[in-house]
Structure 1
Amino acid sequence: MTPLPVTPSLRLDGSTALVTGAGRGIGLAAAAALAQAGAAVTLVARSREEIEAAADAIRRDGGAAEAAVLDVTDLAAVDAFFAARPAFDILVNNAGTNRPKPMTEVTTGDYDAVLGLNLKSAFFVAQAAAKRMIAQGVAGSLIHIGSQMGHVGAPNRSLYCASKWALEGMNKAIALDLAPHRIRSNTIAPTFIETPLTKPFLQDTAFRDSVLAKIKLGRIGQPEDLMGAITLLASNAAQMMTGTSIIIDAGWTAD
Structure 2
Amino acid sequence: MNSGIEVMSTQVDVGDKQSVQSWIDEVVKQFGAVNILVNNAGTNIRKPLVEIEEDDWERVIDTNLKGVFLVGQAVTKQLIKQQNGGRIINISSIFGGVGSSFQTSYAASKGGINQITKVWAHELAEEGITVNALAPGYIKTPMTEGWLNDEKRFRKIIDQTMVKRVGNLTDLEGPLMLLASDESSYMTGQTLYVDGGWTAQ
- How many residues get paired? 197
The residue type paired with residue 142 of structure 2 is: P
* Structure 2 CA distance for aligned equivalents of residues 171 and 205 of structure 1: 35
Q: Indicate the SS of the match to 2:8.
A: strand
Q: Among 106, 119, 125, which residue is 1:173 paired with?
A: 119
Instruction: Indicate yes or no: 2:15 matched with 1:69.
Output: no
The residue type paired with residue 81 of structure 1 is: W
Q: Indicate the SS of the match to 1:185.
A: strand
* Structure 2 CA distance for aligned equivalents of residues 213 and 134 of structure 1: 45
Q: Among 61, 69, 87, which residue is 1:123 paired with?
A: 69
* Structure 1 CA distance for aligned equivalents of residues 44 and 2 of structure 2: 32
Shift of 1:60: 5.0
The equivalent of 1:56 in structure 2 is: none
Q: Among 150, 157, 169, which residue is 1:223 paired with?
A: 169
Q: Indicate the SS of the match to 1:68.
A: coil
Q: Indicate the SS of the match to 2:18.
A: helix
Query: Map of 1:22-61 to 2, 5 A cutoff?
Result: none
Query: Map of 1:210-249 to 2, 5 A cutoff?
Result: 210-249=156-195
* Structure 2 CA distance for aligned equivalents of residues 63 and 223 of structure 1: 21
Q: Indicate the SS of the match to 1:65.
A: coil
Shift of 1:116: 0.4
Q: Among 21, 25, 28, which residue is 1:83 paired with?
A: 25
Q: 1:32-67: CA deviations, max 9, x gaps?
A: xxxxxxxxxxxxxxxxxxxxxxxxxxx755543221
Contact 1:143–1:233 (Cα < 8 Å) also in 2: yes
Contact 2:42–2:64 (Cα < 8 Å) also in 1: yes
Q: 1:120-169: CA deviations, max 9, x gaps?
A: 01011001001001011121000011001111010011111100011000
Shift of 1:82: 1.6
Query: Map of 1:133-144 to 2, 5 A cutoff?
Result: 133-144=79-90
Contact 2:15–2:70 (Cα < 8 Å) also in 1: no
The residue type paired with residue 134 of structure 1 is: I
Instruction: Report % sequence identity.
Output: 37
Contact 1:87–1:129 (Cα < 8 Å) also in 2: no
* Structure 1 CA distance for aligned equivalents of residues 153 and 42 of structure 2: 21
Contact 2:135–2:192 (Cα < 8 Å) also in 1: yes
The residue type paired with residue 52 of structure 2 is: V
The equivalent of 2:98 in structure 1 is: 152
Shift of 1:71: 1.7
User: Please, what is the CA RMSD of the aligned residues?
Assistant: 1.3
Gaps of 5+ in 2: none
Shift of 1:106: 0.8
* Structure 2 CA distance for aligned equivalents of residues 159 and 100 of structure 1: 9
The residue type paired with residue 123 of structure 2 is: D
Contact 1:186–1:245 (Cα < 8 Å) also in 2: yes
Shift of 1:81: 1.9
* Structure 2 CA distance for aligned equivalents of residues 188 and 119 of structure 1: 15
